[in-house]
Amino acid sequence: MRTMRAVVIGAVIVIVAACSRESDEVRVPPSAIKNGRQADPSRLETVEYRWESLGVRVSFSQGKRDDSWTMMVRDTRDIFEVAEETAVKWGPESSRCSTEECLRIIDLSLTEFHTDRPDANLESFFIEMHVDRELWAEVIAVSRRGLLAMGDEVFLDGTDSPQRVDEEIAGVLGRSTTIQAVAATLLRRGVTPGDVSVGVQPVYRFALIGRKWSDLASLSDVGLQYPGYIEIDLRGSKITAR
């Protein structure tokens, strides 16, 4: 059985569906925001669905004065606030759900959003890298490989992201079975996936500046301050009914 509670995010009222971590419970659809509006003029409207016990939220944001929307799969926590306020580590244990659970959440969110906004066009899809357990394991593994290959090179700048690691992450996106499964889920709902890229690069902890990049490979989260985002271009697709 699920319970419902209302929370407020900025000017947006969200009805939260609380469910267990059992995979079968992911089939239970959450309730949608109704006509939620935010003060930020760059985001005319945001519709959000939350799975609190899984720690996942999916938002659809309208960024222009037409019916074009961006879909984002994220941690229910604000990862930037969490990283600033605590000594959180972004190792494998920080992931929120399995790929199977994530795909069900994406599909259910598309169903709910299509019911609420049937004429919406989806321009892009973003997912925080750490949300999906299998995807995050892939990203951590190739990041570690890239860091080890850097030998004695030193981490000098907090805004610096090693090109070697960026290339490793970009490479894994092209062969990731998780990304392929996400793209297939979108395609089944009439949404055409296009180019896949790193939308926002991971950022490394400033406290590690001065250490060798290869030293970071030994850390469970390879020294990350924030996980990044992966972006899939959706080419203004419309969702189709199930």
Task: Label each residue of 146-213 as H, E or C.
Answer: HHHCCCCCECCCCCCCCHHHHHHHHHHHHHCHHHHHHHHHHHHCCCCCCCEEEEECCEECHHHCCCEH
Proportion of the chain above pLDDT 90, given as a percent: 51
* Most confident region among 77-91, 178-192, 222-236 by mean pLDDT: 178-192
pTM, entire model: 0.81
- Identify the pLDDT of residue 65: 65
Instruction: Tokens for 115, please give them.
Output: 């019911």
- Is there a domain that residue 22 lies in? yes
Instruction: Tokens for 155, please give them.
Output: 């981490």
Instruction: Tokens for 240, please give them.
Output: 């189709």
Looking at the structure of the chain, the number of domains it has is 1
- Is there a domain that residue 211 lies in? no
- Is there a domain that residue 167 lies in? no
> Reduced to 3 states, what is the DSSP secondary structure of residue 24?
helix
Whole-angstrom distance, CA of residue 235 vs CA of residue 233: 6
- Identify the pLDDT of residue 168: 92
Q: Could you read off the pLDDT of 160-215 as tens digits, one per residue?
A: 678 889 999 999 988 999 999 999 999 999 999 999 999 988 889 888 889 999 99
Residue 162 and residue 121 in contact, taking contact as beta carbons nearer than 8 Å? no
Angle at 67 between CA 63 and CA 68, to 5 degrees: 50
Q: What share of residues in the chain are helix, strand, coil (percent, to 5)?
A: 35, 30, 40
- Is there a domain that residue 34 lies in? yes
Residue 26's domain comprises 3-133+176-202+228-238
- Is there a domain that residue 221 lies in? no
- Identify the pLDDT of residue 12: 41
Q: With bands split at pLDDT 50, 70 and 90, how would you rate the model's confidence at 242? A: confident
User: How far from chain centre, in Å, is Cα 28?
Assistant: 21
Q: Could you read off the pLDDT of 143-173 as tens digits, one per residue?
A: 999 999 998 999 987 666 788 899 999 999 8
- Asked whether the predicted pLDDT for residue 63 surpasses 90, the reply is no
Residue 149 φ/ψ, nearest 5 degrees: -70, -10
**Which helix (H) or strand (E) segment is 102 a member of?**
helix 99-116
- Type of residue at 38: Q
Q: Could you read off the pLDDT of 67-82 as tens digits, one per residue?
A: 789 999 999 988 877 7
Mean pLDDT of 105-118: 94
- Identify the pLDDT of residue 89: 79
- Is there a domain that residue 141 lies in? no
Q: Which residue has the tokens 């892939």?
A: 138
Q: Which residue has the tokens 């009222």?
A: 13
Q: With bands split at pLDDT 50, 70 and 90, how would you rate the model's confidence at 23? A: very low
- Is there a domain that residue 90 lies in? yes
Higher-pLDDT residue of 233 and 78 is 233
- Is there a domain that residue 162 lies in? no
